[in-house]
Structure 1
């Protein structure tokens, strides 16, 4: 999903006006169900702001680690940045099932975190600007299986159930500052 220039301009303006609640940086969380277009949007915003980007896929400890990924984000990245120290994490290698090389997240004016459950309630202490991206389940599943292969169908189905549970518990769509559909259009 690529957002139109007019939407991108509106997003950048809103983000620049948001409070800098992450140790002087502005935190942008692009959240929403898998396959809705969050990664593409993060790339567009990163070029426009410019911003550092952290992908939740690098933090989750596999298919069953969506909730734990949010905890690791706070521990490894957001907590240190809030105290003026670079964040550090190890990227999860999905095929091998282990954490791999280390990455540093330097201090910057903007940090974009994209991925499912990136805007869980505990990140509110860092005043995130939350962008919710949604798409219908059939489109998301098709995108996911195109990326991960048909063998991932069972994992995707379980992942989608977990998403719904976490989004309901965290009230993520309701807390979002901006909502987009899977085609990059503003919703509501």
Structure 2
């Protein structure tokens, strides 16, 4: 699936189209992965999907923002998510992970997700060949660089501004190493 949309109000329309398509595939215990560069709309997409999730079916939403060990941690957060959140599902075991405390610069509170609950993992670096093998729905969100940067800096402001380029280099490495767009079952292009 691919949606190309106008810049006037791109995220809500793109999200709505993709969410509607994906909701038709929901089954108990499924794994969904949402990846894309910073500011592409991953969190917006994940929230919209969870908000419309079918009644009677549980879903756990895990944001890689809660797992990255700091501003240089895209690859480490992705590996941690695979090892602690995704891989246990292969053996029908509960996923158990700790959230990264950005202020204390260490892992903190423990979270758990039982294997029968659907799992939605979203964040830059989430979609790799290893993680793709465990997910029935894999989404790549894309948007022009200027749109993504404006959206991300409006969202996170001065906290993110000094880290934009360093984070973008990590995203470049992830894309070059894993080609997440090619692994996606759904591509959402926000023009």
Verify same fold: TM over 0.5.
Answer: yes
Equivalent of 1:30 in 16, 31, 34: 34
Question: How many residues in Structure 1 have an aligned counterpart in Structure 2?
Answer: 176
How high is the TM-score relative to the length of structure 2?
0.82
Equivalent of 1:104 in 98, 112, 127: 112
Unaligned stretches of 5+ residues in structure 1: 18-23, 184-188
Sort the Cα spacing of 1:67 and 1:113 in 2 relative to 1 into closer, same or farther, 3 A: same
Sort the Cα spacing of 1:156 and 1:177 in 2 relative to 1 into closer, same or farther, 3 A: same
The answer on 1:137 being equivalent to 2:141 is: no
The answer on 1:59 being equivalent to 2:59 is: no
Sort the Cα spacing of 1:61 and 1:128 in 2 relative to 1 into closer, same or farther, 3 A: farther
Q: What is residue 21 of structure 1 aligned with on the other side?
A: none
Matches within 5 A, 1:1-188: 1-3=11-13, 5-13=16-24, 15-16=25-26, 25-50=29-54, 51-182=59-190
Sort the Cα spacing of 1:182 and 1:100 in 2 relative to 1 into closer, same or farther, 3 A: farther
Once residues 100 and 120 of structure 1 are traced to their aligned partners in structure 2, the CA distance between those partners, rounded to angstroms, is 25
CA deviation profile, 1:8-46 (whole Å, cap 9, x unmatched): 221222x338xxxxxx83211100001110011111112
8 Å contact from structure 1 (residues 54, 112) kept in 2: yes
Cα drift, residue 6 of structure 1? 4.4
Once residues 156 and 21 of structure 2 are traced to their aligned partners in structure 1, the CA distance between those partners, rounded to angstroms, is 32
How high is the TM-score relative to the length of structure 1?
0.83
CA deviation profile, 1:33-69 (whole Å, cap 9, x unmatched): 0111001111111233352111011111011111111
After superposing on structure 2, the runs of 4+ consecutive aligned residues of structure 1 that deviate more than 6 Å are none
Once residues 136 and 73 of structure 2 are traced to their aligned partners in structure 1, the CA distance between those partners, rounded to angstroms, is 22
CA RMSD of aligned residues (A): 2.1
Once residues 89 and 109 of structure 1 are traced to their aligned partners in structure 2, the CA distance between those partners, rounded to angstroms, is 15
3-state SS of paired residue (1:149)? helix
Q: What is residue 186 of structure 1 aligned with on the other side?
A: none
CA deviation profile, 1:96-155 (whole Å, cap 9, x unmatched): 322121111223342110000111122133144211101111222222222322253231
